[in-house]
Structure 1
């Protein structure tokens, strides 16, 4: 039973990694078609052409599978093997040691500083902006906003779906959620408790 659970967990993890990788590479391929020497809708024509190619490719694959249903067995087997291999490469989760807890605290502080820097004078920042910044600096290649959300959740950084920046609500972090409590709040609490006693 445990062996089956481990195998299923490895396949699930690998499938998630493959799906994110494929989506990120596809999105990057489409984005690379945008022309910087043009503006407006003309700059995005290349992106739309690539989206049309992807749609046509998906339609042709569907027609091919409809014509030769046994081809689906080959595709499924290939996906399972790739997911199995990707699941093996995923880092195993282990209980945190004190050193890892210190490292997580340092990571949280570094991330908090980065988020505040990206906010500037604003009240929040979108996670897609944070991800784009990281990828511009050679980090988090092939990762998605979902991966960033999971990282924030693991580090205990509050984030929300309704963060508005420039009037657009989406996943992001608010400045007020990153504010540390004022240092003088602790003495007031202790004074109040001693008065009550």
Structure 2
């Protein structure tokens, strides 16, 4: 693979990641406007208002670009720079440094059972669940905003929860977790118990 191909691949991957992040953050922002104390159309009125604001913003941006076409070069350069950063492949060193940079994610690590219960709840009656479905569920709950499926995969593997690359749900195989792997005994349990003095005795 030559340098031009690697550059194009990184920009393509970065653009895809950036699009998913923006879409997830936008959907979460709109969803947070829903009123839980109301019912019917009144509960969703805030969501429709935010959608109208987004539509108006996009229309004004389009009109601005039409009035000043040179602005498109600046927007394109900004997108390319952001896609280049987002398309950077995570190195093993970066994966190891993630818990140090985000200490709030290191705390739930020992509670593997809570994560397994969450995965089973999202899975429902199916035999597996896609990681993108789990990520969407977390982001709808106001968690893991701006994170990617890769981040979730690394987090689950750090908890010794097996992640498979071809989990088929609704006829579509992709990255996910199988029910049989969650219902099996957790491999993390003996590792946590082995340093205890009672076990060593």
Q: TM-score range by the shorter chain?
A: 0.5 to 0.7
Question: Partner residue of 2:189?
Answer: none
Gaps of 5+ in 2: 93-112, 154-162, 182-201
Question: Partner residue of 1:21?
Answer: 21
Question: Partner residue of 1:103?
Answer: none
The total of aligned residue pairs comes to 151
Instruction: Pick closer, same or farther for the CA change 1:57–1:118 going to 2, 3 Å.
Output: closer
CA RMSD of aligned residues (A): 4.0
CA distance in 2, matches of 1:41, 1:126: 31
Gaps of 5+ in 1: 94-109, 164-170, 181-197
Q: TM-score, normalised by structure 1?
A: 0.58
Q: TM-score, normalised by structure 2?
A: 0.57
- 1:143, CA displacement in angstroms? 4.8
Question: Partner residue of 1:40?
Answer: 40
Alignment of 1:117-156 (within 5 A): 117-120=121-124, 122-123=125-126, 130-135=134-139, 140-143=144-147, 147=149, 155-156=164-165
Question: Partner residue of 2:9?
Answer: 9
- 1:158, CA displacement in angstroms? 2.5
CA distance in 1, matches of 2:141, 2:49: 28
Q: Which has the larger radius of gyration?
A: 1
